[in-house]
């Protein structure tokens, strides 16, 4: 219930639609790719350093992790095809022979395939997320606030406790 309350509060907040959409996009990249990677450390740094909505990032991450688990075989095949492409062989060899190349783990089929997939999908997810957030705020927010379940969530003790700790500003 707290997760739903956080999402509704983030969508209803005065945060910019770009901040929320960037949180969803970076959550998608973080979720689709293997967790322990140099690229995810960079994503985490970007999310924490810049004004990117942490709630939408933390909500998008598990959703896209589930999708990444389902798409892993396809992304692994794409990574394998990129790694075995004759024209890129010298690039992969040179990258592997550097310390950064080995730390990046781009020689793993799933890491490379999922990162390329996430990078290709990132602009699409960003734009669609922004459009959906704006549409939600313009057309649905007032109606959803009237639902009994939303009023029940907002009146729950857990929500008030979270709000009292400074998690949600009234």
The structural domains of the chain, with segments of one domain joined by +, span 2-140
Other CB atoms within 10 Å distance of the CB of residue 12: 14
- pLDDT at residue 170, rounded to an integer: 42
Other CB atoms within 10 Å distance of the CB of residue 89: 11
- pLDDT at residue 168, rounded to an integer: 47
- pLDDT at residue 121, rounded to an integer: 96
- pLDDT at residue 22, rounded to an integer: 94
- pLDDT at residue 42, rounded to an integer: 92
Question: In the block, which residue shows the tokens 């999922």?
Answer: 114
CB 43 within 8 A of CB 26: yes
- pLDDT at residue 153, rounded to an integer: 60
- pLDDT at residue 118, rounded to an integer: 95
Per-residue pLDDT of the chain (170 residues; tens, 9 = 90+): 556 666 666 766 667 889 899 999 999 999 999 988 889 999 999 999 998 888 889 889 999 999 999 999 999 999 999 999 999 888 888 888 888 888 888 888 999 999 999 999 999 999 999 999 888 888 776 666 666 655 666 666 655 665 555 544 44
């Amino acid at each position: 219930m707290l997760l739903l309350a956080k999402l509704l509060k983030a969508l209803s907040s005065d945060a910019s639609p770009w901040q929320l959409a960037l949180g969803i996009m970076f959550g998608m990249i973080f979720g689709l790719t293997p967790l322990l990677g140099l690229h995810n450390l960079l994503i985490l740094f970007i999310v924490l350093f810049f004004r990117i909505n942490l709630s939408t990032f933390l909500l998008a991450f598990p959703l896209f992790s589930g999708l990444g688990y389902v798409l892993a075989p396809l992304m692994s095949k794409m990574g394998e095809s990129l790694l075995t492409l004759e024209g890129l062989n010298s690039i992969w060899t040179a990258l592997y022979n550097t310390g950064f190349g080995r730390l990046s783990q781009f020689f793993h089929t799933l890491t490379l395939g999922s990162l390329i997939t996430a990078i290709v999908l990132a602009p699409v997810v960003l734009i669609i997320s922004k459009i959906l957030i704006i549409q939600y705020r313009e057309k649905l927010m007032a109606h959803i606030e009237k639902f009994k379940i939303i009023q029940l969530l907002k009146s729950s003790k857990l929500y008030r406790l979270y709000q009292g700790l400074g998690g949600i500003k009234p």
